[in-house]
Each structure stands twice: as structure tokens, then as C-alpha cells.
């Protein structure tokens, strides 16, 4: 049985540094010696572009290819098409072909678990699989949640996203009830934090009050910074682009929290087994 942990990075609101957080958590885990697969589950292909593959249309094998292979039972080599980034993470890329999958999955026999079935063929090669979800709750995102052990929700600390968060938490609860009983919300990551403003501080406090009983709020907070935004056009992580920045320090601390949660879960499994 694979010890790989699959995490969806999910929020149906855009502009919360979801992709930046996926990249920097993934590279952060790789820097700690973990084998990491990033899965771009957004037809826009922004994660793929962010890691340096600008011409996504020229990619011959993408997530859409793998989902089609599972649905048509034509999978020959699950690993083919996975790209390797110089900072030590692997990537299953995406492009606009994935947009047709929301419709195609509706008629599939295993429509909610197609991605899970694919990942089961490659998970034994990785310690972590991080899925960058599109900012909507369609069939692709449902597949991501069905394949995941946990969900990390990046939330912009400049406003209180109560309505969107409530909808996402409700969707995760339904997935847990009907499809994937093992899924849980690992935590909420506060991003774009500007502690110089009263609004940001009050929003952080309001987030803790509103959602602290539903999910852990990570101690690490990602500060607002121009350098972090610039990395998306450079094809590299914040560690390679600006290693001494406050953002790099924040993502290092966040990575350590995610690893600590993983070790805690392993200890619980070990004690249950005994």
C-alpha cells in the first residue's frame, strides 16, 4: 500500500495565490527530500506555465490524455508525459484540452473517481501528490477531491470569503459522505497578508472565528510581496528566485507544518495498527 499523501489545493475564488502556493509547497517538500508530483487540474494550464512550460498547446500528453486513457481503458504507460522540473518536482501538465473533460466525465462509468484511478498507478513513486484545482466546483475538481487525502484552502487575508468558503466546505462534506470517506480539510492558509493594515489583521481574526472550528488555520501566513507575484513569469519557485525573502521564509515554515501534520498522521496509524 502506498504511503503517498494526495492533497488538493482548492478555492473556487481566484487571486488567492493558489498556484504560487502549490509550486512553493511542492518545491519546499522536494527540498526536504520528498518525491513530489504536481498535477495541473485547470484547463488554463497556469501551473504548467508557472513552472516554465509556456506553450501548453504543444504538449502531447497532459492530464486530459490520462483521464481519457482511464475512461477508454487504453492506458499503456502511466508515467509517460510527466515532466521533470529542475527544482526536483514532477509535473503532470494541463492545457485547454482539459476543458472538454468536465462534459466527458459526466458520461463515464467512474466519473467521480477517474483521476483517483489514474493516480493509483503512479502514487507508489511519490511521497506527495499536490493537485492544483481550477477555481470552480465542476467534475474535474470533484475528481481531485475524490482522489485526495486532504485539502489545503488558500484564503486571501484581505477580505472574508464567507460565502465561497461555506460552499467549498459543504462540497467537501458531501464528497466525504458519498465518495471519499477519508478526505479531510488539512488547513486554511492565509495568503497576501499585510499586517500593517487594520483590515488584514481584522480579517485574519474573523477567519479564525468563522472557520477555526471547521479546519485548522496554519500558523504560517504568506505575506503580500511583489517578488512572489514575479515568480509566475520566471518558471521557478520563490526559493530559486528570491531565497532570502520573507515569502520564502513563510513558505519554508508552511512546508514544515505540512510535514509535521504528515508525521502526526503516521504516528496515529502506527498506534492504531498496534
pLDDT at 124: 96
Decide: 202 and 196 in contact? Cβ < 8 Å. Answer: no
Tens of pLDDT, residue by residue over 223-267, are 987 777 778 788 999 999 999 999 999 999 999 999 998 877 766
pLDDT at 21: 95
Decide: 105 and 67 in contact? Cβ < 8 Å. Answer: yes
The pTM score is 0.93
The distance of Cα 132 from the centroid of its chain, to the nearest Å, equals: 4
What distance in Å separates the CA atoms of residue 95 and residue 14, rounded to the nearest whole number? Answer: 18
Q: What domains appear along the chain, each with residue ranges and CATH number?
A: 5-267 (3.40.50.300)
Burial letters for 184-193: b for 16+ Cβ neighbours within 10 Å, e otherwise?
A: bbbbbbbbbb
Q: Which residues of the chain have pLDDT under 50?
A: none
Amino acid at each position: 500500500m502506498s504511503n503517498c499523501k494526495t492533497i488538493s489545493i482548492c478555492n473556487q475564488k481566484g487571486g488567492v495565490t493558489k498556484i504560487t502556493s502549490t509550486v512553493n509547497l511542492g518545491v519546499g517538500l522536494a527540498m526536504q527530500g520528498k518525491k513530489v508530483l504536481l498535477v495541473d487540474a485547470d484547463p488554463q494550464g497556469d501551473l504548467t506555465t508557472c513552472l516554465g512550460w509556456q506553450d501548453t498547446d504543444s504538449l502531447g500528453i497532459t492530464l486530459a490524455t490520462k483521464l481519457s486513457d482511464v475512461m477508454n481503458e487504453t492506458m499503456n504507460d502511466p508515467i509517460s508525459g510527466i515532466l521533470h522540473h529542475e527544482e526536483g518536482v514532477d509535473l503532470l501538465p494541463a492545457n485547454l484540452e482539459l476543458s472538454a473533460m468536465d462534459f466527458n466525465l459526466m458520461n463515464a462509468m467512474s466519473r467521480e473517481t477517474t483521476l483517483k484511478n489514474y493516480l493509483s498507478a503512479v502514487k507508489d513513486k511519490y511521497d506527495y501528490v499536490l493537485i492544483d484545482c481550477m477555481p470552480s466546483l465542476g467534475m474535474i475538481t470533484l475528481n481531485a477531491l475524490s482522489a485526495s487525502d486532504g485539502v489545503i484552502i488558500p484564503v486571501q487575508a484581505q477580505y472574508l470569503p464567507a460565502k465561497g468558503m461555506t460552499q467549498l466546505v459543504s462540497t467537501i462534506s458531501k464528497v466525504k459522505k458519498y465518495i471519499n470517506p477519508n478526505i479531510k480539510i488539512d488547513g486554511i492558509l492565509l495568503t497576501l497578508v499585510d499586517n500593517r493594515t487594520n483590515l488584514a489583521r481584522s480579517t485574519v481574526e474573523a477567519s479564525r472565528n468563522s472557520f477555526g472550528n471547521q479546519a485548522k488555520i496554519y500558523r504560517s501566513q504568506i505575506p503580500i510581496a511583489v517578488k512572489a507575484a514575479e515568480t509566475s513569469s520566471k518558471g521557478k519557485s520563490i526559493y530559486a528566485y528570491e531565497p532570502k525573502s520573507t515569502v520564502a521564509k513563510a513558505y519554508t515554515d508552511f512546508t514544515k507544518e505540512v510535514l509535521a501534520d504528515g508525521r502526526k498522521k503516521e504516528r496515529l496509524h502506527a498506534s492504531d495498527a498496534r
